[in-house]
C-alpha cells in the first residue's frame, strides 16, 4: 500500500472475505479511511476471484489498476508497469519455470496477449501473469460486463477472473504484456511462502 501511495495512488477498493475485519483494521490503522471503499465477499468460501472482482465494480469512467493481495514484489515492479504507455497491460514473469499452478500467458505474432489461464501448456506460454494489471476505462467497463454475464452462468462464480480478460481480448481489445525481467515478484499462498518472502524482502513482506 505504501508503494502505491508513494506513486499517487490513494483510492482503493478492497474486497475482503476470510478475517475481513482484521484486514480492514490493519489498513485503517496505517492509512486514512478516505482512501478506501471496502466490499465484503460473504461467499468467499465457495467463490473464486472472478466473483470478488465482480463485487468491486465501480461507476467512474477511469482506468483500473488491479492488484492481487497475495503477492510481494520489488518496488521497481510497480514502476515498470505504471511507466508502460499502453492503456491495457499486464505484468508477466518471463524468467523461471512454469507448471500447472502458474497463470500462464500466450501472445500472438503482434506481441499482444491472446490467452491467459492455468490450463495453457507451459511450452506455448511466454511466462506467468503475476496478478498486476492496468486497464483503460473502456476495457474495465467491458471486463465488468463480462464478469456480470459470467456470474449468471453455471461456472462464473468459480472462475478465475482471467477468463473474463480473455473474453474481452477475443472481443477485440488489445492487451500488452509487460516483461518484469529479473525483478522479483512472489506469490504467497502458504506459511512457507510468507517466510520466503520475508527472507527475500526483509521484515514483513
How much is the pLDDT for 96? 87
Q: How far apart are CA 133 and CA 177, in angstroms?
A: 9
73 falls within a domain:
yes
Stated pTM of the model: 0.92
40 falls within a domain:
no
> H or E segment at 59?
none
1 falls within a domain:
no
How much is the pLDDT for 154? 78
Helix (H/G/I), strand (E/B), else coil: 46: coil
For the domain that residue 193 is a member of, what is the CATH number? 3.90.550.10
Residue 13 backbone dihedrals phi, psi, to 5 degrees = -105, 120
132 falls within a domain:
yes
How much is the pLDDT for 205? 44
How much is the pLDDT for 64? 96
How much is the pLDDT for 203? 61
147 falls within a domain:
yes
How much is the pLDDT for 59? 87
Segments of the chain with pLDDT less than 70: 203-205
75 falls within a domain:
yes
Number of domains in the chain: 1
9 falls within a domain:
no
197 falls within a domain:
yes
Instruction: For residue 165, give its domain range.
Output: 62-201
Strands (E), 43-156: 64-67, 71-73, 89-93, 104-107, 113-117, 127-135
Amino acid at each position: 500500500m505504501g508503494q502505491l501511495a508513494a506513486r499517487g495512488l490513494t483510492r482503493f477498493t478492497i474486497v475482503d472475505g476470510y478475517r475481513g475485519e482484521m484486514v480492514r483494521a490493519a489498513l485503517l490503522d496505517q492509512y486514512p479511511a478516505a482512501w478506501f471503499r471496502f466490499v465484503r465477499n460473504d461467499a468467499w468460501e465457495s467463490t473464486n476471484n472472478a466473483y470478488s472482482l465482480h463485487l468491486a465494480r465501480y461507476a467512474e469512467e477511469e482506468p483500473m489498476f488491479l492488484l492481487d493481495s497475495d503477492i510481494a514484489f520489488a518496488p521497481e515492479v510497480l514502476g515498470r508497469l505504471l511507466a508502460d504507455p499502453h492503456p491495457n497491460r499486464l505484468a508477466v514473469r518471463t524468467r523461471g519455470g512454469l507448471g500447472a499452478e502458474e497463470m500462464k500467458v500466450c501472445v500472438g505474432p503482434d506481441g499482444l496477449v491472446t490467452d491467459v489461464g492455468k490450463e495453457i501448456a507451459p511450452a506455448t506460454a511466454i511466462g506467468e501473469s503475476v496478478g498486476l494489471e492496468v486497464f483503460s476505462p473502456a476495457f474495465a467497463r467491458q471486463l465488468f460486463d463480462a464478469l456480470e454475464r459470467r456470474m449468471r452462468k453455471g461456472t462464473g462464480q468459480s472462475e478465475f477472473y482471467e477468463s473474463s480478460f480473455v473474453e474481452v481480448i477475443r472481443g477485440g481489445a488489445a492487451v500488452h504484456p509487460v516483461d518484469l525481467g529479473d525483478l522479483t515478484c512472489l506469490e504467497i499462498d502458504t506459511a512457507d511462502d510468507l517466510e520466503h518472502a520475508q527472507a527475500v524482502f526483509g521484515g514483513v513482506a
